[in-house]
């Protein structure tokens, strides 16, 4: 379990650093921080899914009259 977490984190860090440097060089000031926030959110969600988080499954239909 630790290897996929480490590889995912390493890949996310490499992409984040590369894009952060790109936005610092060619973008406007706020773009790099918005990207970094989105990347941190995506990383956290990815870690949760790798760790075994699952969506709740419905036990009965939400709209039983629909066929």
Give residue 55's Cα distance to chain centre.
16
Give residue 34's Cα distance to chain centre.
14
The model's pTM: 0.73
* Alpha-carbon gap, residue 52 to 16, rounded angstroms: 24
Give residue 44's Cα distance to chain centre.
6
Contact predicate 50/5, CB 8 Å: yes
State the number of CA atoms in the 13 A half-sphere of 59 facing the CB. 0
pLDDT along the chain (67 residues), means of 10: 90 92 84 90 94 88 80
């Amino acid at each position: 379990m630790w290897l996929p977490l480490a590889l995912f984190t390493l890949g996310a860090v490499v992409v984040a650093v590369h894009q952060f440097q790109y936005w610092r060089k060619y973008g406007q000031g706020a773009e790099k921080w918005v990207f970094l926030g989105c990347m941190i959110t995506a990383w956290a969600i990815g870690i949760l899914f790798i760790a075994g988080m699952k969506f709740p499954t419905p036990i009965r239909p939400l709209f039983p009259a629909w066929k």
